[in-house]
């Protein structure tokens, strides 16, 4: 029926969304089963809180601790069995020795019953020793997690006042995981950059509009022509010239942004220079007031004054001043900040966008119509809304790119004024007709939204006849406007032979010029988009609309589209997005966030490998990476993308900035360096990826019963009657059909596309060279899936070797010396979308080995699932790696959820990343403090907590077990029950919790500036199995010494009472000694004494002494064994001497450990010593003011630097 429509995601308000400009709604709560976030993070899929987006994540320390607990459980079981066995042996020996019933001499032990019930005796031992595993461990850990999460959220150093965004902890159980990060995988746009987009340039046909942009060159290299030969505005239409005359270097602009300064096109390289947009670059005059706000009238993007008595020929005059623009050009103050378009001095005629739009002559009609159609594209193909905020209307966009493009359309005369969602209408005002003229209605017929896989957006509209470029009927004309990445949109252009319009718009020269232009813009770190359109006839649209409405109303088609399967919706959208006419391209500028280069450099110094995953072009990604110090400087000598050399030599190298310490290189495997890779259809590579995924599923299924599968495969092949090799190969294919099919498909694709074979060749050769340098067997990876990956990789290598000998792709500097080897292993890797797909399918083991060894990885053109795929690549092929993924948008959610730790940045692209992350911050630079301060401190403190909790309990229970050995292994206890009950809760819990929450070996400001301290954390050296069991061994040794000393000291009768100590007196002596000593032992692990820690230790000891006084001075049946003990035992000379000796013996292992560590320091200790040695001495401590006044010293101390 006509009144039936499908409920899609466009009708859904997800959690965290804000509904604006609406007084009231009628809503319906919809539950969608196990696919909801609450179910996927809750009990339906593994348990956990429904409010946590990452409840299924478990830290590495939890896994190690669980394995150590299994060892403690085995130790507990062994002691229980050992005690029962030894008791049985003792009973047998006594029976043979006495020749009579054993209960005749030891009737008070009930030995006969115990000997006849060994299971009961084992149960007694278990009940005596079960506190080996402290029940309070998990309670203490959760309390520490809660406290550390609170402190992290209250850290003002991670508060972003611009967004009012503090640090947010959404998964408390991963607070210590921040201290073990080895890889950081980061998005670029909005994560490393500020996501504040400004349109810089446009291109239509073979003409470039706007000031030339510069190539990023951190080396400051000058001279020489650019590798990109571009049409120059000064040469007129179709002219070509070098872009050597450039604006102030972008590297300086990024540097100023990183220090918090806002770059303006009016400010040159020197902060105090003030230059008009069209003035000569050499005539720079100092600004009268450096911090004074610049006059907005000098910006062409903010001028709304009418041009009075001035013709267009005066634009860009030689007087060095930019005249006012006509009223139909320019933006309002709200949108002016998103346009930074300038035209060079002397630009006239066709090369001036302003002049071309104002030229109403008939001879210029075709050119002007082409420009107007592009501007209409900018004005209608978007999802921008107007919303009322604070009494004013502002543009609200899901993407800053769209906001910049809509602002550019307004700047050039086509003002988007409103969107009527109820009628599906856009209102666009052509400002040339007057600022008060009524807007024209553009009917929106269909919208194909942007997706990470599609990389494009299409809007099907009906333009009114007044806006149609050609004459039309009163209904107007239907246009399909498509914008997107050049990699997907250029494939959808109409063939030039299709029509005369296609021959003019899509000519090879025009497409080649556009590619060259986009490459130059990408090298200048600008974000590029390509625009295309086609006119759809009314009959074609009406027939298509009937089929499309039926498809989107079909739930099965919607489900297939969501799952990525073939569906009618995508097919029908593809019918509209084909045979496009090329309109042009745009260049949008984005700047780095404050502190990003410094943060990335510190992460590298800390031993953390940083990968940048972005959907931008290769040139843009490399430029941003160079500005962030992830790659060395990019110069024209290193890369060539000109038309005369469309495929530069393989592995074009990047020159290193001279100030860099490591002299490495960059290996680039992209469509720009692998000849013919760009011509390989994406669906061909996708088929190899699907075959690879099927093989992984098969391997995982066989891994459930690995021995059975191996035996079946061996027996099937070995004892088959078909003995020839071909038949055996068929048997292998029958056993593992998916792996065989994947191998055949990859081999066929390599033969069909030499570029894929070349890419596999280079990857395999580089991996072989890496294995030689590391002196390890090839493809040294772990896991069942990794093993299958290695098998496919070797098969690929075999196929390549049979076809041709692989050239040696040696990493430069692979000499015999250790220094040369280390220099050769210091390399970065640049890959793109097709490279990732192909190498993960053809030779995944070798590709993983290279990426894991690379100092940095730059992945360009990444789709959403590819980002998650790169995270899984690290996790599957490196068992010890801990991955942190950080992003700000919805396309980063998969990556964030796939990583060990996900960090979301609250930016301009919604809150999806924050809601799915484990931690949320406001700026990328806060990541440094999050890892180096909070992560390191939490990791170190929690390792002490776990080790200490087991140390004190093992010491306690091992002493009890040794007493049973002297009591004929009978399982007799000798500790007071009341102290045993509250030992973990009252007497030893608060000090360790206080240390785990607040202790810090260095102040936060020092730890943040010393990334070298994090190297041991990245290697996970602060909590190891050897460290844990060294604490357990120390507890066992101390317990043996204590029990033997107590037994020897009180073996003889007391001379006053004439009797030896009883069972309970010996137990009380042991309890008093151990409880006091474990608190003193913990004091040695405090690195920074603060008032709260001192108070908690003092309060614990006071409570302990008070409890002794209470138990011994007040008779109560629950602690009757304590009555009078202090007077008889604890206040005697032998006990005092023993107590002092016991404290020394208990603390001696720690002192020995510290002494040996001083002679053989660990990596963490060396780094800590180096940092402390570099700290400047602080001022001498001053007496408190009150004490100075009491002593008559009224002189105030001189100001000085605070102590570090």
β-bridge partners, 185:
611, 885
CA distance 935 to 177: 7
Is the separation of the CB atoms in 936 and 1007 below 8 Å? yes
CA distance 785 to 702: 11
Length of the chain: 1204
Q: How far is CA 951 from CA 72, 1006, 1082, 1100, in A?
A: 11, 31, 10, 18
CA distance 661 to 480: 53
pLDDT for 926: 95
1024 burial (CB, 10 Å; 0-12 / 13-18 / 19+) is middle
Of 1065, 1083, 1190, 1072, the residue nearest 1140 (C-alpha): 1072
CA distance 714 to 178: 45
Residue 816, CB half-sphere, CA atoms under 13 Å: how many? 0
Q: What is the reported pTM?
A: 0.77
CA torsion angle 721 725 731 733 (round to 10) = 180
**Positions of the chain with pLDDT lower than 70, given as ranges:** 1-5, 9-10, 14-22, 31-55, 94-116, 212-324, 346, 389-391, 470-474, 633-664, 698-736, 738, 776-822, 1051-1061, 1115-1120, 1124, 1127, 1175-1204
137 CB neighbour count, 10 Å cutoff: 17
DSSP state of 324: P
CA distance 398 to 368: 31
Rounded (5°) CA angle 507-510-515: 125
CA distance 833 to 859: 7
CA distance 359 to 57: 63
Copy the structure tokens of residue 319.
């007087």
Q: Looking only at Cα atoms, what is the longest distance across the chain?
A: 132
Helix axes 936-966 and 118-129, enclosed angle (nearest 10): 140
**H or E element that contains 457:** strand 456-463
CA distance 259 to 1144: 54
CA distance 597 to 263: 17
**H or E element that contains 533:** strand 527-536
454: left (phi over 0), alpha (psi -120 to 50) or beta: alpha
SS3 call for 922? coil
- Please name the residues in contact with 1189: beta carbons below 8 A apart, sequence gap of 6 or more: none
Is the separation of the CB atoms in 859 and 832 below 8 Å? yes
CA distance 583 to 254: 31
pLDDT for 239: 32
User: Phi, psi at residue 583, to the nearest 5°?
Assistant: -100, -45
Copy the structure tokens of residue 833.
């979308």
Query: Given the structure tokens 């872009």, which residue do they identify?
Result: 243
Straight-line distance from the first to the last Cα atom of the chain, in angstroms, rounded to the nearest whole number: 75
pLDDT for 483: 94
**H or E element that contains 905:** strand 901-905
User: Phi, psi at residue 142, to the nearest 5°?
Assistant: -65, -35
1008: left (phi over 0), alpha (psi -120 to 50) or beta: alpha
Of 15, 63, 70, 64, the residue nearest 38 (C-alpha): 15
CA distance 585 to 583: 7
pLDDT for 1184: 54
- CB neighbour burial string for 415-429, b if at least 16 within 10 angstroms, e if fewer: bbeebeeeeebbbbb
pLDDT for 711: 63
CA distance 796 to 757: 9
CA distance 25 to 6: 19
CA distance 176 to 167: 16
pLDDT for 220: 34
pLDDT for 152: 94
Residue 589, CB half-sphere, CA atoms under 13 Å: how many? 27
54 CB neighbour count, 10 Å cutoff: 21
SS3 call for 394? strand
């Amino acid at each position: 029926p006509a009144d039936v429509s499908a409920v899609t995601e466009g009708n859904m308000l997800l959690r965290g969304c804000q509904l604006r400009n609406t007084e009231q709604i009628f809503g319906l709560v919809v539950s969608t089963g196990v696919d909801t976030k609450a179910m996927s993070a809750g009990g339906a899929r593994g348990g956990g809180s429904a409010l946590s987006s990452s409840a299924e994540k478990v830290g590495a320390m939890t896994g190690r601790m669980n394995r150590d607990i299994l060892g403690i459980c085995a130790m507990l079981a062994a002691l229980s069995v050992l005690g029962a066995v030894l008791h049985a042996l003792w009973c047998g020996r006594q029976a043979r020795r006495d020749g009579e019933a054993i209960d005749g001499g030891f009737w008070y032990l009930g030995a006969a019953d115990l000997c006849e019930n060994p299971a009961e005796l084992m149960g007694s031992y278990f009940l005596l020793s079960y506190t080996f595993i402290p029940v309070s461990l998990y309670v203490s850990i959760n309390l520490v997690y809660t406290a550390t999460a609170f402190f992290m959220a209250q850290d003002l150093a991670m508060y972003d006042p611009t967004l009012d965004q503090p640090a947010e902890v959404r998964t408390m159980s991963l607070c210590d995981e921040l201290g073990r990060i080895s890889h950081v995988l980061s998005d670029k746009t909005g994560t490393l950059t500020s996501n504040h987009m400004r349109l810089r340039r446009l291109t239509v046909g073979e003409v470039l509009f706007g000031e030339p942009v510069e190539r990023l060159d951190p080396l400051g290299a000058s001279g020489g022509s650019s590798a990109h030969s571009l049409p120059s505005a000064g040469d007129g239409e179709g002219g070509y010239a070098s872009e050597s005359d450039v604006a102030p270097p972008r590297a300086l602009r990024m540097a100023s942004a990183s220090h918090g300064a806002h770059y303006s096109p009016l400010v040159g390289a020197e902060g105090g220079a003030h230059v008009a947009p069209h003035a000569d670059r050499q005539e720079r005059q100092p600004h009268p007031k450096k911090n004074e706000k610049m006059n907005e009238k000098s910006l062409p993007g903010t001028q709304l004054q009418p041009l009075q008595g001035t013709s267009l020929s005066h634009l860009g005059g030689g007087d060095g001043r930019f005249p006012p623009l006509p009223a139909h050009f320019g933006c309002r103050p709200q949108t002016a900040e998103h346009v930074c378009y300038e035209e060079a001095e002397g630009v006239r005629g066709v090369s001036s966008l302003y002049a071309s739009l104002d030229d109403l002559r008939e001879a210029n009609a075709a050119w002007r119509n082409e420009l107007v159609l592009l501007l209409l594209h900018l004005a209608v193909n978007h999802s921008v809304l107007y919303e009322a905020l604070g009494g004013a209307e502002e543009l609200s966009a899901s993407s800053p790119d769209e906001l910049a493009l809509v602002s550019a359309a307004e700047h050039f005369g086509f003002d988007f004024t409103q969107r009527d969602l109820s009628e599906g209408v856009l209102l666009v005002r052509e400002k040339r007709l007057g600022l008060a003229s009524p807007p024209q209605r553009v009917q929106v017929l269909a919208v194909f939204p942007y997706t990470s896989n599609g990389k494009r957006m299409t809007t099907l509209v009906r333009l009114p006849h007044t806006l149609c470029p050609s004459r039309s009927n009163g209904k107007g004309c239907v246009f399909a406007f498509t914008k997107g990445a050049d990699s997907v949109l250029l494939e959808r252009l109409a063939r030039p032979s299709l029509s005369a319009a296609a021959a003019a718009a899509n000519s090879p020269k025009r497409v080649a010029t556009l590619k060259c232009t986009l490459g130059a813009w990408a090298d200048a770190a600008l974000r590029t988009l390509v625009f295309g359109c086609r006119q759809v006839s009314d009959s074609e649209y009406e027939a298509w609309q009937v089929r499309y409405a039926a498809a989107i109303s079909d739930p099965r088609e919607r489900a297939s589209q969501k799952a990525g399967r073939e569906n009618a919706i995508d097919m029908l959208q593809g019918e509209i997005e084909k045979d496009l006419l090329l309109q042009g391209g745009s260049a949008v500028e984005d700047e780095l966030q404050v502190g990003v280069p410094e943060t990335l450099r510190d992460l590298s110094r800390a031993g953390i490998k940083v990968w940048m995953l972005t959907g931008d072009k290769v040139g843009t990604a490399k430029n941003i990476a160079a500005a962030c110090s992830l790659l060395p400087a990019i110069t024209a000598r290193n890369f060539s993308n000109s038309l005369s050399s469309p495929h530069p030599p393989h592995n074009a190298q990047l020159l290193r900035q001279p100030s860099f310490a490591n002299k490495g290189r960059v290996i680039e495997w992209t469509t720009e360096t692998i000849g013919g890779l760009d011509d390989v259809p994406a669906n061909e590579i996708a088929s190899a990826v699907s075959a690879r995924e099927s093989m992984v599923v098969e391997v995982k299924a066989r891994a459930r019963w690995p021995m059975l599968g191996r035996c079946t495969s061996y027996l099937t092949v070995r004892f088959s009657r078909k003995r020839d090799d071909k038949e055996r190969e068929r048997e292998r294919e029958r056993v593992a059909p998916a792996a065989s099919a994947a191998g055949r498909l990859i081999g066929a694709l390599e033969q069909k596309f030499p570029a894929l074979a070349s890419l596999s060749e280079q990857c395999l050769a580089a991996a072989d060279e890496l294995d030689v340098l590391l002196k390890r067997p090839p493809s040294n990876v772990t896991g069942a899936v990794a093993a299958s990956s290695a098998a496919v990789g070797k098969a690929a290598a075999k196929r390549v070797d049979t076809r041709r000998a692989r050239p040696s792709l040696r990493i430069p500097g692979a000499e015999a010396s250790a220094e040369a080897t280390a220099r050769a292993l210091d390399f970065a890797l640049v890959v793109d979308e097709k490279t990732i797909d192909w190498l993960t399918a053809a030779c995944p083991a070798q590709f993983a080995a290279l990426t894991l060894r690379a100092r940095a990885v730059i992945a360009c053109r990444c789709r959403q699932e590819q980002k998650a795929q790169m995270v899984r690549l690290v996790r599957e092929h490196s068992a010890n790696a801990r991955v942190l993924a950080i992003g700000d948008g919805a396309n980063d959610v998969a990556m964030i959820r796939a990583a060990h730790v996900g960090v979301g940045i609250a930016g301009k692209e919604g809150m999806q990343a924050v809601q799915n992350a484990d931690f949320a911050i406001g700026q990328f630079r806060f990541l440094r403090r999050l890892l180096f301060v909070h992560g390191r401190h939490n990791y170190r403190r929690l390792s002490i907590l776990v080790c200490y909790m087991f140390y004190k309990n093992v010491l306690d229970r091992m002493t009890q077990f040794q007493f049973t050995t002297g009591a004929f292994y009978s399982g007799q206890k000798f500790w007071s029950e009341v102290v045993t009950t509250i030992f973990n809760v009252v007497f030893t819990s608060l000090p360790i919790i206080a240390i785990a929450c607040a202790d810090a070996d260095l102040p936060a400001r020092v730890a943040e500036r010393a990334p070298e301290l994090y190297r041991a954390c990245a290697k996970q050296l602060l909590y190891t199995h050897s460290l844990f069991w060294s604490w357990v061994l120390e507890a066992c040794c101390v317990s043996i010494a204590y029990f033997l000393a107590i037994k020897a000291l009180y073996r003889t009768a007391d001379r006053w009472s004439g009797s030896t100590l009883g069972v309970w007196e010996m137990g009380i002596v042991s309890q008093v000694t151990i409880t006091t000593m474990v608190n003193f032992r913990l004091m040695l692990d405090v690195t920074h004494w603060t008032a709260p820690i001192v108070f908690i230790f003092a309060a614990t000891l006071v409570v302990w002494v008070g409890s002794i006084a209470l138990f011994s001075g007040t008779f109560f049946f629950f602690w009757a064994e304590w009555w009078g003990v202090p007077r008889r035992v604890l206040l005697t000379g032998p006990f005092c001497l023993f107590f002092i000796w016991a404290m020394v013996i208990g603390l001696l292992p720690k002192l020995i450990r510290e002494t040996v560590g001083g002679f053989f320091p660990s990596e963490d200790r060396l780094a800590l010593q180096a940092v402390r040695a570099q700290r400047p001495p602080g001022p001498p401590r001053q007496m408190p003011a009150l004490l100075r006044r009491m002593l008559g010293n009224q002189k105030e101390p001189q100001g000085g630097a605070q102590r570090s």
